[in-house]
Copies of this chain bind each other. A is one copy, B any other.
Amino acid sequence: MTAADSAAQRELIDALVTTSFVTMAVLNRVSAEYDLSLTQFRVLAILRDRRVKMSELADYLGLDKSTISGLVDRAEKRGLLQRAPNTADGRAVDVFLSPAGTELADRGAALVARSLSPMTSVLTGTEARRLTTLLEHILPAAPSLRAS
């Protein structure tokens, strides 16, 4: 790799970190709009199209199972999701969205799209596709997606 390429790598890392902070700030703001933490918001997003066990939720989020218990407790108390015993494993507990939770998750997803669109819409269709391709190219190389 040439010295110029090393510099390009460093500049890319900077741009990646900055973009991520900006994106997360937007997601945080959207979550707060619905009185949710970003983690709670992610829980709703994950459950949007699945019914999962507590342990699977812990895996998706990269958090300890005791943390999930608290997270689910609070969301359940708000009527956003429900627990039910898993029929196949007597130890396991399933979690899934309530109707209210589904509605909130849907509205949240729409607001995320609206909130980020000012950024993405400065690009032409061709540029947008090129950026998507590049991001999808580097994503599989991420070091252990466990806590994604």
Contacts and interface: CB of A to CB of B under 8 A. Distances in A.
Interface of A: 1-2, 4-5, 8-13, 15-29, 62, 112-113, 115-125, 127-132, 134-139, 141-143, 145-148
B62 A25 contact: yes
**A128, A130, A146, A148: which has the most chain B beta carbons within 10 Å?**
A128
Question: How many monomers of this chain does the complex have?
Answer: 2
A27 B23 CA distance: 14
B15 A136 contact: yes
B141 A12 contact: no
Contact of A12 (B20, B118, B132, B146): B132
A15 B142 contact: no
A135 B10 CA distance: 14
11 contacts: A8-B129, A11-B128, A13-B113, A17-B23, A17-B27, A18-B139, A18-B148, A19-B139, A28-B147, A118-B143, A134-B134
